[in-house]
Amino acid sequence: MITLEKVSFTYRSGQRALQDIDLNLEGGDFIAIMGENGAGKTTLAKHLNGLLKPSQGRVLVDGDDTRKVSVARLSRKVGLVFQNPDHLLFSETVKDEVAFGLKNFGFAPEVVHNQVIRTLEALGLSEYAETSPFLLSGGERKRVALAAILATEPDYLILDEPTIGQDYQQKERLRNFILQLYSQGKAVVMITHDVEFVAESNPKVILLSQGRIVAQGPADSVLSKDELVKKASLVRPQMSRLFGELTKYGLPSDVVDVHRARILLEEKLSEAKVRVAQNS
């Protein structure tokens, strides 16, 4: 478990980025951290693997205080994929990039080989195995950075804006991969502004605003509340906005679950067709 206890953080410039954050993250959790630019999302992510140390409070990773353990040791458990992939990439080929962490952690050569092949296939990168990552598009480089972390199979995976630069097909591939990790008992944390991706994936959402947690709960509940969404400078998902409009036409106002709402919509459409047929 990763535990944050009353964590606050102030940069040397005097900017207060986090204030009194209490949070527990354990195996099997799937969490999306959302909020306006400057809310403290990336700062929070960097606390989860010890890149930043709290000014007040403490962060525990499986019982180890991050102020007393090296980032190298924590990286065996906590994998962080940066928003900008160029902050991570440096190898001559995609294959070497994905293999680097495995070699550094001392895995046997055959394990490294098999894990690289499996991870490249899972993220649709096999055709680029011998290509320099710096010749790829921004979205492709992002997937290479993700592959390099995923290959080491960390217990906790932190993804900073993973859907930026990805088309719909790649987002679906990413969603399936995340759900696979989730089913294996891994913990996945996304920092994202992509409300549609979050709405379709339905993780637990934590809303940050000005360095504080202002709301948390299931995505379909949190993202349906206008006052919370506006406070975090987000836009309600399209489906949620559609349901809001349809309450004017008889959809119960307390419906926030997408699947239940779809069933109700289908029922009302069937009723409307029957009325039309009766009146014709």
Q: What average pLDDT values come out for the chain (280 residues) when binned by 10 residues?
A: 96 94 92 93 94 97 95 92 87 95 92 94 92 92 91 92 86 84 88 89 92 91 84 70 55 53 66 75
pTM: 0.79
Report residue 237: phi and psi, to 5°.
Answer: -55, 150
Q: What is the pLDDT of residue 192?
A: 92
Q: What is the pLDDT of residue 249?
A: 54
In terms of DSSP H, where are the helices of the chain?
Answer: 41-48, 71-74, 94-104, 109-122, 138-150, 168-183, 195-201, 219-222, 226-231, 238-246, 258-279
Q: What is the pLDDT of residue 246?
A: 55
CA–CA distance, 223 with 205 (Å, rounded to integer):
8
Report residue 243: phi and psi, to 5°.
Answer: -60, -35
CA–CA distance, 14 with 198 (Å, rounded to integer):
33
CA–CA distance, 242 with 191 (Å, rounded to integer):
25
CA–CA distance, 208 with 229 (Å, rounded to integer):
10
Residues 6+ positions from 1 with CB-CB distance below 8 Å:
24, 25, 26, 27, 60, 62
Q: What tokens were used for 244?
A: 């809001």
Q: What is the pLDDT of residue 258?
A: 53
Q: What is the pLDDT of residue 237?
A: 66
The neighbouring-strand residues paired with 218 are 204
For the chain, which domains are there? 2-219 (3.40.50.300), 237-280 (no CATH)
Report residue 111: phi and psi, to 5°.
Answer: -70, -45
Q: What is the pLDDT of residue 185?
A: 86
CA distances from 37 to 17, 41, 54, 207, 259 (A): 11, 8, 20, 12, 31
Residue found under tokens 């205080």:
65
Amino acid found at 143: R
CB 130 within 8 A of CB 144: no
Q: What is the pLDDT of residue 268?
A: 65
CB 32 within 8 A of CB 198: yes
Q: What is the pLDDT of residue 256?
A: 47
